[in-house]
Structure 1
Amino acid sequence: MSRLAPQPAPADLSSAILSAPGWARVGITMPDARMRERAADALAQSILEQVFEQDRTAHADQLRLPL
C-alpha cells in the first residue's frame, strides 16, 4: 500500500509565495508573455522548494508543529 504525501497547509503556500523572489512575483503581471512564463516557472520552483523541502526532513507519520 502506498502512502500519499501530506498536503501543504494554505499558510505554508502563502508563506512560500511571499518569500519567493520579488522579480518573480512582479513578473507574473508583466504584459510580455515570455517574462510571465519565466516568472511563473521561478515562482513555482520556489514554492516547490520551500513547501516540499520541509516535508523531506520529517517522517510522513509525524505531526508538523510550529516552533
Structure 2
Amino acid sequence: MNAQARQLEQTALREDIRDYVAHLQFHMTLQARNLVPNLSQAADSRERLLHNAQAEFEKQVSRQAIESL
C-alpha cells in the first residue's frame, strides 16, 4: 500500500469518527432535553415544594399551639 492510499484511508477513518462523535453528541443532547424539565415545569415544581413546606410548617405550628393550651 502506498503512502497516498494510506493517507486517504486515515482521512476516511477520521471523518467516520467525526461523524460518529457528532451523531453521539446530537443523541446525548436530545436525551438531556428529555431528562431535564423545561423552565415552566421547574417553576411549578418549586412552587409546589414551597407550598408543601409552608403547609407542613403551619401544621406543626398549629399543633404546638394546641398542645400548649
Q: TM-score with structure 1 length normalisation?
A: 0.38
Q: TM-score with structure 2 length normalisation?
A: 0.37
